[in-house]
Amino acid sequence: MKLNLINSPLKADLELIEKELEKSIHSDIDLLQEASIQLLKAGGKRIRPIFVLLCAKFGTYDIHNVKNTAIALELIHMASLVHDDVIDEADLRRGRPTISYTWNDRVAMYTGDYMLARSLDYMTNIEDPMAHRILAKAIVEVCKGEIEQIKDKYRFDQNIRDYLRRIKRKTALLIAVSCELGAVSAGADEKTYRILYRFGYCIGMSYQIIDDILDFTATEETLGKPAGEDLRQGNITLPALYAMEDTQLRERIFKIRENIDTKEMEQIITHIKNSDAIEKSYDLSQKYLNKALVLLNDLPANPAKKMLQDIAKYIGKRKY
């Protein structure tokens, strides 16, 4: 099951957004244009725009209004990816060279800056001051998250609560806000947009947990990078945290440093992959998903609700 299939009723609107995204990053500065296009063409699932549009269906849906929110959210997401790749010193993103790798950190920094700026520019088409407040606060949290991720690197004595707070800022918040702002920009009522925020939050948590599982279990071909890259970089995710309940493995993980012996690292990753840590991680992801589905019960029945349910189920099963 591919995500784009279940979204066919949105097809025309998503195509419009794709075209507008390309327009949004147009620049008469060649280098900037090239770098932005490279990022845009690398794809991505456009999850944030999809949620914006679907949640706008709970208000007065007007694509020419709501597209501004959808584009703004995707641009913020893309900007955060570019800056993240600088922080992570990543060479590849979705199997393609990152901007920092193709050019350098400085180009990546200002390409991200430019995308964020363009995002704000789109948001100004939304008149509701509340929308701006919600977004600004989310951006503050995303920035804090960026930094906390560095701080928590190779810090093996962290717990699951630390991890959950980190992925909230890294992923769940922007998906929650996509849902909320989709509804807000379509003038949906408060009860509705609050539920959609919480729905998005649960979906985002579940989504990131699965991302972190796949980093261990998927093939290098699917990931576009070697499996276990997170742990190799000192990023401690849920499977690693569960795996550390095994005291012997815990000791070995605690010894991971940047220059760890490759063979030992491979063994640790295989160990985690074959442990019950994966299953436990799936269970937590599923709990968030179930909560998301329960939240939807309080919303009126409409085709968008059905699609939100489908997406939630898809996320539980995705393999890449």
Q: Which residues bind its own copies (CB under 8 A)?
A: 27, 29, 31-32, 83, 86-87, 105-106, 109-110, 113-114, 116-118, 120-121, 123-124, 127, 129, 132-133, 135-137, 139-140, 142-144, 146-148, 150-151
At its nearest, how many Å lie between its own copies and the CB of residue 129? 5
From CA 287, how far away is CA 202, in angstroms rounded? 9
Nearer to its own copies, 86 or 268 (CB): 86
At its nearest, how many Å lie between its own copies and the CB of residue 181? 13
From CA 8, how far away is CA 20, in angstroms rounded? 19
Nearer to its own copies, 7 or 149 (CB): 149
Nearer to its own copies, 83 or 225 (CB): 83
At its nearest, how many Å lie between its own copies and the CB of residue 123? 7
Nearer to its own copies, 158 or 309 (CB): 158
Nearer to its own copies, 45 or 165 (CB): 165
At its nearest, how many Å lie between its own copies and the CB of residue 115? 9
Helix or strand (DSSP H, E) at 287: helix 277-296
Q: Residue 42, Cα to own-chain centre: how many angstroms?
A: 15
Residue 301 backbone class (left: φ over 0; alpha: ψ -120 to 50; beta: rest): beta
At its nearest, how many Å lie between its own copies and the CB of residue 143? 4
Q: Where are the alpha helices (DSSP H) in the chain?
A: 11-24, 30-41, 47-56, 63-87, 99-102, 105-123, 129-151, 160-167, 173-185, 190-217, 220-223, 229-232, 238-243, 247-254, 262-273, 277-296, 303-317
